Homo-oligomer: A and B are copies of this chain.
Amino acid sequence: MPQQNEPGIGQDDEGEARTGDEVLINDAARTGDDARTGDERDAVDAITAQWNRERPDLEARPMAVFGRIYRLSRLMGDRMEKEYQRYGIGRGEFDVLATLRRSGEPYTLSPRQLSATLMLTTGGMTGRLDKLEKAGLLERSPDPGDRRGLRVALTGRGLDVIDRAVGSGLALQTVALDGLDAEEAAQLSALLRKLLLATERTGASSSGP
């Protein structure tokens, strides 16, 4: 279905590959820093337990945080991709339509604004616009003020599709988040915001050319 690839911690699923892991794995739930709110172990606990056994010199706690972030991103991403297919669009196309929709009337932006917002190269943008235009969900017209540029606008059908799609995508997220109570969800949102800001900051002072 989708097409991904990803970093950090591997994916795990069924049985771990070797014999006698379970003991060590149960150790690790106690070793970890976060044996508090949750009483159930997840796949990431198993992975950090393996790392603790093989490389006890490493402090593996950050891996647990980013490993879960990665897995949640991929899990929900795949799930939403499948949902959007009911409207005949993929995740990439959804993002284009959603950006136009939330920009407000007259639901018009330039390809340049879209590719910058979606962190996409112009080549990738051209492809998405081609597909959406062929599907009749948006229209390209010349920018009257700049003959190099275009303006991309949602059609009536495009507006209809995105308004329904965004609702059912949000529903999926809402169901998943129902596993947390209101206070936990608010706490999680705030902690993620803080981590996001901190992560963006540390990246700025990084490598080179």
Contact = CB atoms under 8 A, between A and B. Distances in A.
Contact of A54 (B101, B173, B186, B196): B101
Contact of A79 (B176, B179, B203): B203
- Copies per complex? 2
Interface residues of A, number: 108
A62 B198 CA distance: 21
Nearest to A49: B102
A50 interface: yes
Nearest to A163: B55
A179 B192 contact: no
Interface in A12-27: 12-14, 16-18
B197 A191 contact: no
Which of A64, A174, A193, A198 has most B Cβ within 10 Å? A193
B189 A175 contact: no
Given A10-B98, A70-B73, A207-B82, A202 B188 contact: no
A188 B92 CA distance: 29
B62 A170 contact: yes
A71 interface: yes
Given A77-B8, A116-B14, A202 B190 contact: no
A144 to B, nearest CB: 17
A130 to B, nearest CB: 16
A198 B176 contact: yes
A54 B102 contact: yes
A150 interface: no
A53 B3 CA distance: 33
